[in-house]
Amino acid sequence: MTLSSLTFTISNTTTAIQNTPQFNNNNVVPVPSLNTFCSITLNNSFNKTHLFRIHCINQDPLSPLEPLKSDQNLPFGNDGGDDDGGDNFGGGGGGNDGNGGEEEGDEEFGPLLNFEAVMNEVEARGVKLPSDMEEAARITGIREMFLLRYLELQGSAWPLSFLMKNCAMLRNRMLADPSFLFKVGIEIVIDSCCATFAEVQKRGKDFWAEFELYAADLLVGVVVDIALVGLLAPYARIGTPSLSKGLLGRIQHACAALPSSVFEAQRPGCKFTAMQRVATFFYKGALYGSVGFGCGIIGQGIANMIMNAKRSISKSEDDIPIPPLVQSAALWGFFLAVSSNARYQIINGLESLVEASPVAKKIPLVAMAFTVGVRFGNNIYGGMQFVDWAKLSGVQ
């Protein structure tokens, strides 16, 4: 995907188009001569269709532009994706359906409020918006529901209020899914309880003597749990992210256009192609694998250091072999990239279906109970599967 810049120069004597990019269909944008002079620079994307209307001073009003049909041939091409800008809903910015749906409002997230409307609501409540939200309101506007949710959550008890004002990563996920913290908490509680039960059964009377190993495993497990839930969670996109230039910028743009998870629901201004959903599985798998390998290095490294320190003081014939560090970390990375990725993608899709059902909307406890049940079963199955994989690989 190539980003390009169009510069239209409008003068009182001639019509000029400078720095015109090369398009496949060699379209030329005609600009009429006017009794004025100005230069307009537009950042254009092959992904996004722009409709421009130049209003001439002291001229008759222009007739309204006819909206483009979804199946109409677009002058600059359209591949179903979207640019990075705007206040979209989605894990990676999402796609555009090409019919202006983003400006028409959304049944769930409400209309797009302009800067004046946003500031009036904020001042009426006596609060101050974070700098990125204020900038987004000035440039693109903010969805009404996102604004109302932020105003409600920033007034919560500490530390949530502090995090909402200062941690954009948490804030954007809470704006898109108010149950995000509940899901993270449930994942941590279930995984920690299951891990504790397994550790007590495995270590028996030596549990307290080897408590450091258990604590190290538990701490790494908490980090992994947060990553497992957070990396697939949908989030509100506030403002326009800064992208690098060149190849890195194109990669960032492609990744930003992906959904947050394979089964993320489509909404106005947030459409995804089948190819993007397939790419999301491998992209999230790579992220999961990186987290698993890193946490494996840290967690197993701490455990190995403790085991070596204890054995330097006293050795026993009952000591188990110290697990290899790199191989253990590689197993964790592979397990999260393949097994955990697939299981949590399915869980996210199931949770979305339940949350969107009429019963769950009337009785929110239904969705919460489903989350607890499905994540509990997933943790039991995932723990048993990891033990099998570890034995097959020779790590344990």
pLDDT mean across residues, the chain: 76
Lowest-pLDDT range of 22-26, 201-205, 347-351:
22-26
User: Are 70 and 99 in contact, with CB atoms under 8 Å apart?
Assistant: yes
What percent of the chain has a predicted confidence (pLDDT) above 90? 35
CA atoms within 13 A on the CB side of 257: 26
Q: What is the pLDDT of residue 188?
A: 96
The stretch 295-319 carries a mean pLDDT of 83
Query: What is the reported pLDDT for 25?
Result: 45
Distance (Å, whole) CA 239 – CA 225 = 28
pLDDT value for 81: 38
Average pLDDT over residues 233-237: 86
Provide the phi-psi class of 296: left if phi over 0, else alpha when psi is between -120 and 50, else beta: alpha
Question: Which carries the bigger pLDDT value, residue 104 or residue 256?
Answer: 256
Compute the distance between CA of residue 119 and CA of residue 113 in angstroms, rounded to an integer: 10
CA angle 376, 92, 176 (to 5 degrees): 60
Residue 44 backbone phi and psi in degrees, to 5:
-110, 150
Question: Mean of the pLDDT values across residues 79-99?
Answer: 41
Query: For 84-98, 116-130, 346-360, which range has the lowest pLDDT when averaged over its residues?
Result: 84-98
Q: What is the pLDDT of residues 259-268, one digit of tens each?
A: 999 999 877 6
- Give the 3-state secondary structure of the chain: CCEEEEEEEECCCCEEEECCCCCCCCCCCCCCCCCCCEEEEEEEECCCCCCCCCCCCCCCCCCCCCCCCCCCCCCCCCCCCCCCCCCCECCCCCCCCCCCHHHCCECCCECEECHHHHHHHHHHHCCCCCHHHHHHHHHCCEEHHHHHHHHHHCCCCCCHHHHHHHCHHHHHHHHHCCCHHHHHHHHHHHHHHHHHHHHHHHHHHHCCCCHHHHHHHHHHHHHHHHHHHHCCCCCECCCCCCCCCHHHHHHHHHHHCCCCCCCCCCECCECCCHHHHHHHHHHHHHHHHHHHHHHHHHHHHHHHHHHHHHHHHCCCCCCCCCCCHHHHHHHHHHHHHHHHHHHHHHHHHHHHHHHHCHHHHHCHHHHHHHHHHHHHHHHHHHHHHHHHHHHHHCCC
384 by Cβ neighbours in 10 Å (0-12 / 13-18 / 19+) ranks as exposed
User: Higher model confidence: residue 62 or residue 206?
Assistant: 206
Distance CA(68)–CA(130), nearest Å, equals 36
Report the pLDDT value the prediction gives residue 150, as an integer from 0 to 100. Answer: 92
Residue owning tokens 């014939």: 317
Burial of 157 (0-12, 13-18, 19+ CB in 10 A): exposed
pLDDT at site 241: 67
CA 21 to CA 174: how far, in whole Å? 40
Considering only residues 296 and 249, tell me which one the structure prediction assigns the higher pLDDT: 296
| Of 20-24, 111-115, 183-187, 232-236, minimum mean pLDDT range | 20-24
Handedness of CA 87, 93, 98, 101 (dihedral sign): negative
Q: Is the pLDDT of residue 29 over 80?
A: no
> Of 77, 70, 82, 87, whose CA–CA distance to 135 is shortest?
87
- pLDDT at res. 377: 94
Q: Any idea which of 73-77, 261-265, 346-350, 381-385 has the lowest mean pLDDT?
A: 73-77
Does the pLDDT value for residue 115 go beyond 60? Answer: yes
For residue 271, name the pLDDT band (cuts at 50, 70, 90).
confident
Tell me the longest C-alpha to C-alpha distance in the chain: 96
Residue 309's pLDDT is 85
Average pLDDT (253-274) is: 84
| pLDDT for res 277 | 95
Euclidean distance between CA atoms 36 and 56, whole angstroms? 9
Which of 234, 235, 239, 254 has its CA nearest to residue 85?
Answer: 239
Measured on CA atoms in the order 153, 155, 156, 161, is the torsion positive or negative? Answer: positive
- Judge whether residue 2 has pLDDT over 50: no
More confident residue, 216 or 149: 149
Give the sign of the dihedral formed by CA 236, CA 242, CA 246, CA 248.
negative
**Predicted pLDDT at 151:** 92
Mean pLDDT value of segment 153-164: 89
Q: Is pTM beyond 0.85 here? A: no
Residue 323: cis peptide before it, omega within 30 degrees of 0: no
142 beta partners: 113
Do you know the residue count of the chain?
396
pLDDT score recorded for residue 100: 38
